[in-house]
Amino acid sequence: MRREPLAPCAAVWLGESPAGGVTGAELVHRVTRRLQSCVERPQFLCARAQASGRAAMLGLRALLLRGARGAWGCPQVHASLATGPRQNDGTFYEIRTYDVKPSKMKEFVELVNKHIHLRAAHSEMVGFWTVEFGGMNKAIHIWKFDNFVHRAEVRKALANDKEWQGKFLSPVLPFLNKQNNEIVYLVPWCEIGKPSKEGGVYEMVTFQMKPGGPALWGQSFRAAINAHLNTGYTKLIGVFHTEYGLLNRVHVLWWNENPDSRAAGRHYAHEDARVVAAVRESVRFLESQQNMLLIPLPCSPLK
């Protein structure tokens, strides 16, 4: 096991020479021994000790970070979902889910198709779907924003848009049982895709990952998505990671020609050794998942 030199402030607090170096196990032992000494001599817990202790913690943090980067032979973790273009340009998406009263679903769809263009005049609509399987009497729509200032401006404009208020918002509210929204980022390694033709169906698969974020599971998750994609049976539309809503959640939006081609493709994919291996690796970080089959409305840009 490699030996690393102690940071000077950590060496002072531990009463050690910074030149000698320690292994990870030795460091843990020495810190434990020093803390026990502090407990046995409570008068030592003065302002000076607290200050040196804080400094030692900073030195310890730097040492452990070096170890995480390979100083003690540990592999570096690449947080591929946590870094990239989304931090640079601020673009995000809002996924809205409406639970519609069963007796009002037909009227709701008619109203959306007729007047949703009033809403789309204020910001870009990615798509608008109703749920066929995986939920009943639900509608899902996705909107794109440049940043949070842009969204605030759009919301203010909508509040002052009398035509939007009168023709859509006021009439549609009695049709709804519940509304929910999430703010999500498109992951850096994915762009919004377009289906090869109109008339297909969409599948939204939602993965609830273990706490720890993309630094923990991002690389394995991406490998599993690519393994399915490489089989060629489906088209990837987008991969979205939550910023507001239930955290550590990822929505993956796929397109297929029809439900039967989707089913046949998945059966084939699950016999592919590359898919099986990638999925086995990624499920170690998975808590739950669910999916919905979505039907695009005529007004939806993604059809």
Interval 239-272: pLDDT, tens: 999 999 999 999 999 999 999 999 999 998 889 9
Q: Which comes out higher in pLDDT, residue 74 or 16?
A: 16
Per-residue confidence band for 34, with pLDDT thresholds at 50, 70 and 90: low
Q: What is the CA radius of gyration of the chain?
A: 26
Q: Which residue has better confidence, 112 or 269?
A: 112
- Specify the pLDDT at position 255: 97
Residue 68 is predicted with a pLDDT of: 41
Phi and psi angles of residue 233, each rounded to the nearest 5 degrees, phi first: -85, -10
Distance CA 147, CA 52 (A): 42
Q: What is the mean pLDDT of residues 71-94?
A: 55
How far is 300 from 195, CA to CA, in rounded Å? 13
Kindly tell me if the per-residue pLDDT of 47 is higher than 70.
no
Q: Over 60: is that where the pLDDT of 13 sits?
A: no
pLDDT at 41: 52
Q: pLDDT class for 101, splitting at 50, 70, 90? A: very high
Give me the pLDDT at residue 48, please: 46
Residue 25 has pLDDT above 90, yes or no: no
Q: Note the pLDDT tens digit of each residue in 209-240.
A: 999 888 888 999 999 999 999 998 999 999 99
Report if pTM > 0.75: no
The mean pLDDT of the chain is 83
